[in-house]
Every structure is written in C-alpha cells, then in structure tokens.
Structure 1
Amino acid sequence: MKLLFIGSRLYDDLDWYVRSKGIESVLTESNENAINLDLPDQVFIVPRGMDGPKQVAMMQNVDAIVPLIGIDPPLIDVAHMKEEIEKEQGIPVVAADVRAVKLTSNKIKTKEFYGDIGVVTPDYQILNSPDELNLEFPVVLKQGEGQGGKDIKVAKSLEDVKDYFEDFNQALCEKFVEGSEISIEVLGFNGEFIALPPIYKGETTLEGVHPLNKVKTGPCMVEGLDNNLVQHTAYKIAKNLNSDGIFEMDFMFSKEKNQLYAIEVNTRPNGTRYLTTATCGVNSLCELVNMAIGEFSIANVLDKLEYNYSTEIPIGDYEGPSPNEPVKSFEDNNFVVHGPEGYQRVTARADSKEGLENLVDKLT
C-alpha cells in the first residue's frame, strides 16, 4: 500500500503509525526547509497549490491521498482536487468535499447552516457599520474567514466597535456568551460518523485569552452539561455536512441559560487532538490513514476507546523526562510533548485524577 501525504508539518504525528502498518509513504511539500522531510520514504518539493500533489499522485501510482492540512486557506483547493482526481483517476482523497469546505470555511455561511439544520448558535447579525448594531454588549466581532483567534475582538462598547471598523468594512457580530468552551472531534467516512469525547478548554473571558495559553482537560466535566448532548449535536452537524475526514467543532455552554451553543466547525485536524487521543485512545490522524487503507469503521473505533483523565499545559520549553519512542504516540507513553520551541505544551494522561496530578507534578 502506497499513500501520498500532502504537507509535512503534522507528519511526525503519524509517521510511527504509517511505518507500523508497512505503508510506503510519499509526501509533497512546497517549502524545501519545512520540518519532517527526513521521515517519509519519498519527498517531492512542489509549487504551492494542488497541481503538484495531483501530478505526484499519478506519477507514483499511489493508492490514496491523505492531506495533512492544519490551516484553512488551502482546504478549498484540496476539496476541488479531491473531486477531480477521484472522478478522473479513481484515487481516493481522505478530505472534505467542496460543499462541506464552503459551508465551514466562512463563519457567516456556518451560522446559516446551523440555522438550516436546527442547531442553536449565539444571536448574531452582519454589520456593515457600527450604527447597525442592535445586540446588547458585550459582543464578539469576527471576520467571515480566519482561525486561531485571528481578527476577533470582544467589544464592550460602541467605541470598541468603531475601533474594529477602522480595520474592517464588515463584521460578523455575535452575542458574547459567558460560559465553558468545549471542543470535539468527529470522524466521518463513507457516510459513517462518530463523535469522540468532548474536551474542556476553559471559561470565556472578556479579555479574550488565546486558546494556546489555557490549561485544557479531558474528558469535559462541566456542571450541568451532558456530554452526550455535545456528542449528539456534533454528530448531527457532521451528518448534515456529509463528507469525509476530521471535523473540528467548537461549542459554548452557558450555565446561566443551561444552553449549548455551536460556535464553529472546521474540516481539518483539531488543535486539541492530543487531548482527545490521551482521553479516549483514538488518534484522529491515524484514523485518516485507516480511512485511506480501508480499515476504518465505527466498530473499530469503539473497540479502541479508553477512559482516561488528561490535561494539556502550556510550558514554553519542556525540560522534564524524555518520552519513549515514538515520542508523538501514547502507545508507550503517558505524556506527549508538542509544539515549537518556546511554545511547547505537554499533554498527559492517567487512569485517575490523583494519578494525573502526580504525573503533572513530575513533568512540570
């Protein structure tokens, strides 16, 4: 079995799994100085875009393609490539299709999609000027496209809104929800979907603390919230998107109103994927490989499920004990270190809360 992987940044997360499966790996990358280029069996440096990967896929006669794209802008090009190469060459591409990417890559379209399928989302309006605002403060101002907190502002007054419009001509204005931030991954392939355990990402703040600076935990344990509701809602969203790959979803739970709100959904690997793996034993990136080689099924995922306590802590530069090889796998580790130098994080797991506390003390 020969697979083509597009993008090298995330490849070290699953190189160990690819090798364990005896898969021949081919990788395309547009940056000749990118990380992880020494790991695959073959590497091809190609121009930006999907023409290069498409040509390599045909030239190498690969069995399937697994894009490892962790940012939003290239996703629509991947989706178009998927539809073209599957139709013209019969090579499966484990990624979302054009419809799903268009619905999820624009926050305004996502809001409309939620409304169409009956999923609750915070009250919102599209602002073309500050004078049009009719929501009560505080509100959250966003652009239709963007990720990782980019171009997002919590506005507490009309002056804050006016300041935002000095840089933008339009904004998605959403009612600020005070409550718990939750993330969840859903795996989907060939019309089958499974929602993995929700992850707790902290409480909302008017200061807009970046997600990377928060301590996160799994499984999600928020007073008054039924995790089955989160999983059911996430499943409903994925089912209606009806595409393949990983769906990353963000929710907010208001204790005051006892209401779960859907915030956004992305068709790419999740920033909390290490926590998900630590919590339940299912590695979403490895499941992409299973989809490509015909070994993915809901039954297989359920067989892998574990029940652990986990946490992810930002530490800057890690100086604790070294993990076992492979260092990005929980197969023989109870912790994984990830992220670039200066911004590293440790994700740790144990089978009890006390065990997790002891492990964190040892690592930090």
Structure 2
Amino acid sequence: MHVILIAGGWSDEREVSLSGAAKIRMALDELGHNVSFFDPADDFKKLLATAKQADFAFINLHGTPGEDGLVQAVLDKAGCPYQGAGPAASYLALNKAASKEVFEDKGIKTPDWQIVTPTQGREAQLKLNLPVFVKPNKGGSSLGMSLVKRIEDFPAALDKVFSMCQSALVESFIPGVELTCGMLGDRPLPLIMIKPKSDADFFDYENKYAADGAEEICPAPVDDTLTKSIQQQMVTAHAALGLTGYSRGDFMVTKKGEAFLLEVNTLPGMTPTSLLPRAAANIGLSFTDLIAELIRLGMETRTH
C-alpha cells in the first residue's frame, strides 16, 4: 500500500513525534509498504490532496494537530483510512477535564479536579487540598506540569500553563504507584509499572524519554485481582470515549489498592522507550507486528 506517515506538527511534543516516526518508518518499510513522509508543520495545505492519493495514513502526532482530531477529520474527508480514534473521540480524550467527566459518569475513579482558565487568571482560588498537580488541560508528555506543595507556588504553576496558551487542570495528588494499561483493538494489554528516578517527584518529560529515565516493569508485579480490575476499567474508558484501534490509560494506585484513572492517550508514544510497544512485546508482538496490527485495525474500522 501507499502509506503516508504523518508526524512532526507544531506542538511542544514535535521532537517526540519525529523520534517515534523514524522507527515507524523502518517498520512500514519492512512490511513492504510504499511510504511517504508528511509533516503538517510544513505542508498542512496539501494534506487533503495528499491523503486522497494514499491507501492509508499512519498518524504519529502528539498534541495539536493530531490528538485533537483535526488531522483525522481531514483524512475522513479524503476517504483515507488511518489507525486509532476518529475526530470526536480524539478531541474528547485530549481534553482532560471532559474525559474525566466521562470517567466519573461510568463509575471510574479519577482524582478530584478543577479547571482554571486564563480568564480567571493566576489569582484563581484553589479549591482542592494540597498537594496538587497543575497541568495543561490539553497536552501530553508531562510538559508544563508542576507539583504544587505550597499555596504560594500555585500562581507560578498556573502561569506556566497559561504561557502555553492553555487552561489549567488542577488535580489532587494521589500518592502511590503508577501503572499504565494499553488497549489493542478491544483487548487490554499487560500492565506496566512505572518507577520514576529516585530524585524525581513524578513521571516527567525526562523520565519518559531519556534512555536512563524511569524504570518500567512489564508485566507489572501486582496481583491478578488488581490487574483485572484496572484492565476492565480501561476497557470501559476506551469504549466510553468512543475510541478504536488502540489507546493507553495512566493510573495511580494507592497503598490500599484503590486505582484512579488519570487520563487516556489516543496516540500513544512510539519511541524506542515507549510504553505501549513494550506491553505489546510482552504478548509476543514485535514492533513491526504491532504496526501491522494497527494498520489492520484501521482498515477494518474505516473501510467497512
């Protein structure tokens, strides 16, 4: 097939996108596809016309455009199938506040939260008990995130988010262990336990992408009951958001074994250190196998 590999873009996660695209390109070549690279940051005006000439689009974008559903909407107009979620589901999942409303509606625990908009400004009242995380409401890779332990640090954390032209999601800090659960098709993948470096407060950008970053253990060393509970919550969240193909959810688990879903990522990272490829490898799928399966799922979803 003629596959366009869409990566790069103009979000703060551009470099992560390009890093993953290099490995995806190798897998697509290995699968025998005719691959063309497309960067929306350079050629967005040509996206519709380019997509009309392709058999499939493999999207590896993070943030806007891509995770917000914009590229998917254009591809739908072109009649070009692609992997992963469609436009509406992508946008819903990217908006952390909106997705948390969906989780709560389905009975899935998520940390207490509030939204602070630039209109409210840095003088907005904190309605949650400290400590709290302050993060962009739409974004990933832990960019712009702060762990606020003192009320006097709250305005500066808001400023960091507002400087990214974002509203801020303020979320109660849940002490515990971080677990992540990927979805492939309609089945959950093995859990991965994430242990940040000892000097890190949380799983930040460096922990995620540095070669000597956080320790990631797959399958996670937790009991079967907790594993099945988190996997079922992930299946429910994936369906409730209207997602297809794949996704990855991040959970915090307390010492009492309570799991809280933080967010769901519709275009999981595909770098050599990324979590979903590692979970897929645990069930016997090589990286190339994973790419082939995502293409199969995308074609099945959008050509029937």
Shorter-chain TM-score above 0.5: yes
- Counterpart CA distance in 2 for 1:28 and 1:209 is 30
Partner residue, 1:300: none
Deviation, structure 1 residue 216: 0.9
Q: Does 1:24 align with 2:34?
A: yes
2:12 counterpart residue number: none
Give the letter aligned to residue 35 of structure 2: S
- Show the counterpart of 1:144: 137
- Structure 1 residue 279 corresponds to structure 2 residue 282: yes
Deviations 1:268-295 (A, max 9, x none): 0233134223322234433222235559
Q: Report SS of the residue matched to 2:140.
A: coil
Shift of 1:226: 1.6
Question: Which digits, 9 at most, give the CA deviation of each residue in 1:292-332, with x for residues without a partner?
Answer: 5559xxxxxxxxxxxxxxxxxxxxxxxxxxxxxxxxxxxxx
Q: Sort the Cα spacing of 1:66 and 1:155 in 2 relative to 1 into closer, same or farther, 3 A.
A: same
* CA contact 2:183–2:234 (8 Å) conserved in 1: yes
1:142 partner amino acid? K
Query: 1:187 is matched with which residue?
Result: 184
Say if 2:179 and 2:252, in contact at 8 Å, map to a contact too: yes
In the TM superposition, what is the alpha-carbon distance from 1:19 to its structure 2 partner? 4.0
Q: Which runs of 5+ in 1 are unaligned?
A: 32-46, 296-364
Cα distance in 1 for partners of 2:141, 2:21 equals 21
Highest Rg: 1 or 2? 1
Shift of 1:111: 1.5
Structure richer in strand, relative to its length:
1
**Retained in 1: the 8 A contact 2:196–2:215?**
no
Moved more, 274-283 or 154-163: 274-283
Give the structure with the higher percent helix: 2
Identify if the C-alpha distance between structure 1 residues 92 and 157 changes in structure 2 by more than 3 Å, giving closer, same or farther.
same
Q: CA deviation at 1:259?
A: 0.8
Calculate the aligned-residue CA RMSD, in Å: 2.9
| Structure 1 segment 154-169 matched on structure 2, within 5 A | 154-167=147-160
1:177 and 1:223 map into 2 onto residues whose CA distance is 20
Using the TM superposition, give the Cα deviation of residue 105 of structure 1 relative to its aligned residue in structure 2, in angstroms. 1.4
Q: Which residue of 2 aligns with 1:124?
A: 113
Relative distance call for 1:203 and 1:179 in structure 2 (3 A) is: farther
Give the distance between the partners of 1:149 and 1:101, measured in 2 at CA.
18
Distance 2:43 2:180 in 1: 30
Deviating above 6 A after TM superposition, structure 1's stretches of 4 or more consecutive aligned residues are 203-206
Between stretches 152-161 and 221-230, larger displacement belongs to 221-230
Q: What are the residue-to-residue correspondences of 1:35-114 with 2, within 5 Å? A: 47-49=42-44, 51-58=45-52, 60=53, 62-69=54-61, 71-75=62-66, 76-86=69-79, 91-114=80-103
Gaps of 5+ in 2: 9-17
Higher relative contact order (CA 8 A, sep 6+): 2
1:255 is aligned to 2:255: yes
TM-score, structure 2 normalization: 0.77
Cα offset, 1:15, TM superposition: 4.2
How far is the alpha carbon of 1:219 from its aligned partner?
0.5
Q: Deviations over 1:240-279 (max 9, x none)?
A: 22233321211111113x2110001111023313422332
Displacement of 1:16 in angstroms is: 4.8
Distance 1:223 1:160 in 2: 38
* Counterpart Cα distance in 2 of 1:101 and 1:294: 18
1:289 aligned residue (279, 291, 295): 295
Percent identical among aligned pairs is 23
* 8 A Cα contact 1:4 1:26, kept in partner: yes
